[in-house]
Amino acid sequence: MLKIAVIGDPIEHSMSPVVHGAALDALGVSYEYEKVRVTKGGLPEYIRHALDTGTDGFNLTMPHKVDILPYLADIDSEAEAFSSVNTVRIRDGKLYGFNTDAIGYELSLKQCGYEFAGRRVVILGAGGVVRTIALKAAMCGARRVCILNRTREKAEWICGEVRGKTGADMISEGFSADEIARQCASADILINATPLGMNGCKSRFETFDFMNSLPSGALVSDLIYNPYKTEFLAEGERRGHNIQNGLPMLIFQALAADEQYLDRKINMSDVYPAVLAAAQKRLNV
Ligand code: NAP
């Protein structure tokens, strides 16, 4: 019996139990799945619990992705590159850290017929998830990656780190409508990685005019999946662009985590439809 969990704070609305449950059901794996509210500073107590109860692994969300680092026996290179872990595998009483967000996004791109290689990527936001996606884009051979953020220094910092690790062409900008429009004019893939437009987020984009400059054929991608089609995506679609929400990323990052828990590769295209259906049911779409 596989024993896994998701921990974080807040955790009530986590989709992880639905997504992992549907995947493991589809794979015919028997499992127990715990959803545990672990507040900041609560990791030592939770880790003791996980070890005492024979837990095989757990996913982490806010605020633990960085705090987990001192407890790890080893960490995979992508998680280490930006010191952010979303998956822990426990083996023989030791904790091993992984980050599956970037591979989740890369697989979601492939699923809708796009890839980073040779593309110009424009990312709005410079939070935790952008660090991993920007690095993945650079490692996959993106022609150029531009990060625009309200706090420009954060975008500059990520660009500096990724450039240093990969030599990629990285650009940082602020978040004004003009700056966004200028960068959109040469974007093959436009990604919203801010919470603007998410259910529960009070702020919205003030304008979507910046999308008028996107080249035809550009993908408009939002990491948000609730609402299922954000205004950002609806505006992209209205201008004739292919769009993708954040649900495929959520599913693929979970399947990549399950590969760690199960110590084997999963045929993701076999299980994806069942997981998507379960997630859509939970989201009422
Ligand atoms: P984060 O670390 O909290 O970063 C949030 C980013 O959004 C920061 O760059 C922040 O700018 C910017 N931002 C916040 N409010 C803003 C506003 N009112 N105007 C302009 N910019 C604003 O979050 P994260 O973990 O990177 O996640 C980012 C998004 O991706 C969230 O919507 C999250 O739900 C989504 N996500 C989806 C998946 C998935 O599987 N689909 C996985 C992870 C994350 P400042 O730096 O200026 O504060």
pLDDT digits (tens, 9 = 90+) for 195-231: 999 999 999 999 999 999 999 999 999 999 999 999 9
pLDDT band per the 50, 70, 90 thresholds, residue 81 = confident
- The tens digit of pLDDT for each residue in 113-153 reads 999 999 999 999 999 899 999 999 999 999 999 999 999 99
**How far is 90 from 202, CA to CA, in rounded Å?**
38
78 pLDDT above the threshold of 90: no
Q: Taking Cα atoms as reference points, which of 145, 191, 192 lies closest to residue 165?
A: 145
Question: Torsions phi, psi of 173, nearest 5?
Answer: -145, 170
Distance 208 CA to ligand 1 centre (A): 18
Express each pLDDT in 96-112 by its tens digit. 999 999 999 999 999 99
- Using a cut of 0.85, tell me whether the model's pTM lies above it: yes
Site to substitute for ligand 1 among 20, 194, 222, 275, most atoms within 8 A of C-beta: 194
pLDDT of residue 89: 98
Kindly give the number of the ligand 1 atom that is closest to the alpha carbon of 62. 25
Give the residue numbers annotated as catalytic, written as ranges: 65
- Number of neighbours of residue 55 by Cβ within 10 angstroms: 21
The contacts of residue 7 (CB under 8 Å, 6+ apart) are 36, 37, 38, 46, 58, 59, 60, 61, 64
249 close to ligand 1 (CB < 6 Angstrom):
yes
Q: Pocket of ligand 1, candidates 61, 111, 150, 153: which has the most ligand atoms within 8 Å of its Cβ, to mutate?
A: 150
- Using one digit for the tens of pLDDT, what is the confidence trace for 168-183? 999 999 999 999 999 9
CB 206 within 8 A of CB 138: no
Grouping H, G, I as helix, E, B as strand and the rest as coil, residue 199 is: coil
